[in-house]
Amino acid sequence: MSLPFLLEIGTEEIPDWMIPPAINHLRDLFQDLLDRTKVAGTISAVDATPRRLVLQAEGLAERQSDSEELLLGPPKSAGSGAAAGFAKKMVTTPDQLGTESTPRGEYFSFKKHLKGQDTIAILAADLPQLILKIPWPKTMYWNGKGSERFIRPIRWIVALFGESVVPFELAGIHASNITQGHRLLGKSEIPVTIANFEQQLQVNGVILSASKRRGKILDGVAELLKGKGLRIRPDASLLETLVYITEFPTPILGGFDSQFLELPSEVLVTVMRHHQKYFSVEDEAGNLAPHFIAVMNTDADPEGLVQDGNERGLRARFNDARFFWQQDQKRKLEDRLEDLKTVTFQAKLGSYFEKTERVVALVKQLGGSPSAQRAALLAKCDLTTDMVKEFTDLQGIVGGIYAQAQGEPDEVGQAIYCQYQPISMDSDIPPREAGRIVALADKWDTLTSCFEVGLIPTGSRDPFALRRAAQGVVRIVIEGGIQFAWPKMSDALREFMRDRVEYYFREVRGFAYDEVRACMAAGWSDLSDLESRLERVRAMRPDIEPIAASFKRIKNILQQAGFTVTHALKESLIEDGPERELYDEFQHSFGQPLESRIQRMRPKVDLFFDKVLVNAPDEAVRRNRLTLLHNLLTEFSEIADFSEIVTQTRN
């Protein structure tokens, strides 16, 4: 007979962002337990709220299936006395023993029949360790030094196998059938069965399913904004936070004085999002509206106290932001340059003042316009403003807004604003030339400086986000059409950048692995040239595969011969027939696009290899043939090393 299983680990409030990975780990750990103990069954669901991690399974066999284990006894040479002793130990008779030959000789053996254990006993024995094995970014102890560690204190455990409680104890908690409801909406002791578990939680103010909580938030928002011509600014990560910080989410609509709309919308949105976890609201034209959506962890706001409290809190925050804005305007960005001498960029790399000097020089070197140079000079000055000290996520953005407010040209302000872009793979690069050059120079300086003092990313450790910086460099150069000849690079940095270029063309642009390798082997110092070569090779793709095989062959022949060019190709030494045909084609098509040459060249190359002996007995003829192949290879390798192209074996 098979039975359902329910595990609920009841805790104090777990940080929202840790919950989804945790339930995935819980699922994997439990699957592993089923596999390892050979208990049949299927995990039907994992779910969680901030106060509970839940796993449900069905079809668990009541007993583990029986199995056999082969045990080795004494060597056969030890005789029947030893065999009798072994048999006794195995609780059997000597006639039940077998023999087993091993590399070390013959041994007595016994096939022990293992009766399957009761699943409930297995669960009781294994669940405590399983729960403690869930990995967390940071754990704590709560029962005293040396006691169990978990993300937050475990306060109750529900573990049911069919109708029975799985009897185990963990951190002083005995598993039971008693769960707890929402802290304020539910009872604190609720007996449950597997069948009524979710419904009992619901009655007690807990929506177990994350997707139902998500739905409740979105439906609630739609209801609140219906007919008002307003919508929320979509924010998937804020939504996930709210889903996992509540057991019973209910959105409410609040408002603020529209005079705050004079502040930059970036500042308002950041305050609402990061500090208050509110959705911003905009009108149909996309302008920020003087409203916000907060999500409560309760069912209602009967007297409007929650709305009022949130509005007052937000007003105080906005007043702070306005105060910072006014304070910051008392000193222009330019006047803050000196202050950058006391702001450390990195202990080994000096201050932001020094970084600014380097970046300005680099922008000039890259031919940056006066606007770009001006933006580079002011780019880091916002680090000393009260606004950025309070809202660090807004660095760059605040500088850009201030520059504009202080009468700097638009292009300067925008370049400062965008200097940290692109911040991710899917985010945009700066929209204009000045911004691109500044962003590029800033990132390139960070990369070269860090590599110079040995701050090189290893494995998953990349504390200065150098991979992101390098990816930004690659994207700005290619997508922004910036002429950027790689300045001098150390071997380590060259290798690092090579990887990023390769990654970009493969993962972001979808070129095949071998195309990228082939084209990069022909050089990658000019990225836009590399891009156009890649496109050409991709366009030739099906046709070049056969010739790629030939190129591989040519490469091997040249390599094996240890060939280097010593003499020019002599026409007089060319033999009539396939060799001459190849030579003529090669000469004749010189200067034509590679695409058509390759097409026509292919049969000639094939024929050549078919009919002509490269290793001719005559030394001069042999050298001349190798020279012909070498010239062929060199010329065609200008766009790619075709021998890197993987051919489908179709012959």
Partner 1 sequence: MTSNQQPATSNQPLSFQETIFRLKQYWSDRGCIIQEPYDLEVGAGTMAPETFLRVLGPKPYRVAYVQPSRRPADGRYGENPNRLYKHQQLQVILKPSPADVIDQYLGSLTAIGIDLRKHDIKFEEDNWEAPTLGAWGIGWQVMLDGLEITQFTYFQQCGGIDLDLVPAELTYGLERIVKFLQNVESVYDIEWAPGVRYHDVRFKDEQQFSVYNFELADVPTLWKLFDLHEQECQRLLTTFAKRLCVLPAYDQALKCSHLFNLLDSRGAISVTERVGVIGRVRKLALGVAKMWMEQEAAE
Residues at the contact surface with partner 1, assessed by CB under 8 A: 12-13, 15-16, 50, 138, 140-145, 152-153, 155, 183-184, 188, 245-246, 276-278, 294, 296-298, 301-303, 305-306, 308-310, 312-314, 316, 319-320, 323, 342-344, 347
d(CA 624, CA 636): 18
User: How many beta carbons lie within 10 A of that of residue 256, not counting itself?
Assistant: 19
For residue 123, CA distances in Å to 28, 33, 132, 195 come to 15, 9, 14, 20
- Which residues, in sequence order, are CB contacts of 410 under 8 Å at separation 6+? 404
d(CA 265, CA 270): 8
Which residue type, as a one-letter code, is found at position 645? I
Q: Write out the two tokens for 134.
A: 């869930």
- Per-residue b/e over 279-289, b at no fewer than 16 CB within 10 Å? bbbbeeeeebb
CB distance 557 to 626 below 8 Å: yes
In the block, tokens 């907060």 appear at: 294
Q: Write out the two tokens for 646.
A: 């993987």
Which residue type, as a one-letter code, is found at position 442? D
Give which of 508, 509, 505, 540 is closest to 524, Cα–Cα: 505
Long-range interactions of 76-81: CB distance < 8 A, separation 24+: 76/105, 76/106, 76/107, 76/108, 77/105, 77/106
d(CA 614, CA 606): 13
d(CA 56, CA 201): 15
d(CA 307, CA 305): 5
User: How many beta carbons lie within 10 A of that of residue 617, not counting itself?
Assistant: 7
d(CA 169, CA 124): 8
Phi, psi of 432 (to 5 degrees): -125, 165
User: How many beta carbons lie within 10 A of that of residue 88, not counting itself?
Assistant: 11
For residue 325, CA distances in Å to 363, 389, 636, 651 come to 29, 12, 61, 72
Q: What is the DSSP string of 322-346?
A: HHHHHHHTTS-TGGGTGGGGGSEEE
**Can you tell me whether residue 515 is helix, strand or coil?**
helix
- Per-residue b/e over 121-143, b at no fewer than 16 CB within 10 Å? ebbbebbbebbeebebeeeeeee
d(CA 279, CA 41): 42
For residue 377, CA distances in Å to 3, 167, 194 come to 70, 68, 65
For residue 21, CA distances in Å to 18, 55, 217 come to 6, 14, 22
Which is closer to partner 1, CB of 260 or CB of 608?
260
